[in-house]
Amino acid sequence: MTSCNNFLIAIFIFFKTNIILRKLPTKLNSMEGLPNIDLIQSLLENYMFDVDGAAAVTICDRDGFIIASESKEKGGHESNLVIGAISAFLDVYIDRIKSEYKTQSNFFNITSMQDKKFAYCSMGPHCILTTIADPTTSNTELRIYSEYIAGKVELILDGFDNVSTDIPEIIRVLSKRKEGKLPKGQFTAKLILNGDYGTGKTSLIKRFVDNEFNEKYISTIGVEISKKSVVMNEDTNINFVLWDIGGQIGSMAPYRQRFYEGASAAFIVIDRTRPNNLESVKKWYKDIKTSVSRDIPVVIVGNKSDLQEEIVISEEEIKVVAKQLGFHHILTSARTGENVNEAFLYIAYRFIEKA
């Protein structure tokens, strides 16, 4: 970290500012009560642990007040220096960020200064996550992690206390993708969702497409098709065609084969609160394979992860099955929105990179 010293001192001079670590405001905009800082802190620790080139990270509100921070160096002078550098960056940049993005809640940008990168990101109305990183850190890695952590922090600030602070394997895989431009153009991917009845297929789609959740269970008869377009960058778009396949395995079997045809990828959705639900994954995969002979990316989606007291299927158990079949897995909650976008994002990258 000594090599970091000169840089940090240079930043201080550059900003010509007194660095004062600002305190948590008594009340965040549009929030009731205080957020669960321990959860946020644990997320930031996991972020620092995973990303080698990241030196420190802070979460601040839209006025630049620091809510939480974490640095790779634990405690002491060095740690204060790095967090101080972010604070100084925020002092100077917060007005620019505010004017550039105005009311926009989702953004990500990287500014290089001296020999460091500052990545700032927002995934909702409450906060901005800023990371200071070594220049060798890939922009992809910073982006994938920033968006993921910032999204989780928004959930916590919205009052959800049962958010997992573990970083899903899918995020690691995505962040280690080779740096480089995505192919340009408009891509269309047919994503099929299957799995037992009532596991949350329709709810995951509703969350992804409309950002809504319905407590009421209305079983899908046959199939429902919906669409959502996702902008990956200025040159690349993906149009998802989502085939939500009803989980009544017996009754619709002859029709289902036709629904699967031409699929680019699949989610096999399980309900983590139902004993033996994991065993159905093989059955549903076999069902897909009768119509799709090519190998397509498959993700086991462990849904209803918000129901912590009722969960009977652990991540470890899901991992074993996923590994056996060569799939990825992710734990989601259509109710809170946790990891829902990430699951679709993973498929988007897999599809575009292969196209």
Ligand X SMILES: Nc1nc2c(ncn2[C@@H]2O[C@H](COP(=O)(O)OP(=O)(O)OP(=O)(O)O)[C@@H](O)[C@H]2O)c(=O)[nH]1
Contacts with ligand X, residue ranges (CB under 6 A): 197-203, 214-217, 219-220, 246-247, 303-304, 306-307, 333-335
* 112 vs 251, beta carbon nearer ligand X: 251
The tokens describing 342, both together, are 């990430």
Residues 13 and 11: their CA atoms lie apart, in Å, by 5
The 33-52 site mask, x for binding Mg ion (CB under 5 A), equals: --------------------
Q: Do 64 and 19 contact (CB within 8 A), yes or no?
A: no
For residue 220, give Cα distances in angstroms to 214, 243, 248, 283.
14, 11, 9, 19
φ and ψ of 146, to 5 deg? -60, -45
CB of 196 to Mg ion, least distance (A): 11
* 251 vs 290, beta carbon nearer ligand X: 251
Candidate residues 220, 277, 303, 332; the one interacting with Mg ion per rule CB under 5 A: 220
The tokens describing 339, both together, are 């990891």
Which partner in Mg ion, ligand X, none is near 229 (CB below 5 to 8 A by kind)? none
Stretch that binds Mg ion, among 133-141, 212-220, 276-284, 305-313 (CB under 5 A): 212-220
The DSSP result for 324-339, as a single string, is HHT-EEEE--TTT-TT
CB of 160 to ligand X, least distance (A): 12
* 7 vs 160, beta carbon nearer ligand X: 160
Which partner in Mg ion, ligand X, none is near 30 (CB below 5 to 8 A by kind)? none
The tokens describing 165, both together, are 């602070």
CB of 272 to ligand X, least distance (A): 9
* 118 vs 267, beta carbon nearer ligand X: 267
DSSP code at position 181: P
Candidate residues 58, 130, 175, 202; the one interacting with Mg ion per rule CB under 5 A: 202
Which partner in ligand X, Mg ion, none is near 131 (CB below 5 to 8 A by kind)? none
Which partner in Mg ion, ligand X, none is near 303 (CB below 5 to 8 A by kind)? ligand X
Which partner in ligand X, Mg ion, none is near 116 (CB below 5 to 8 A by kind)? none
Nearest in space to 300 (alpha carbons), one of 189, 172, 199: 199
CB of 192 to ligand X, least distance (A): 13
Residues 308 and 272: their CA atoms lie apart, in Å, by 9
CB of 288 to ligand X, least distance (A): 15
Q: 145, exposed or middle or buried, with CB in 10 Å at 0-12, 13-18, 19+?
A: buried
Nearest in space to 312 (alpha carbons), one of 320, 324, 302: 302
Q: How many residues does the chain have?
A: 355
Among positions 133-192, residues that touch Mg ion (CB under 5 A) are none
CB of 214 to ligand X, least distance (A): 6
DSSP code at position 165: -
CB of 158 to Mg ion, least distance (A): 26
* 179 vs 215, beta carbon nearer ligand X: 215
Coil vs helix vs strand at 234: coil
Coil vs helix vs strand at 243: strand
Residues of this chain that bind Mg ion (CB under 5 A): 201-202, 220
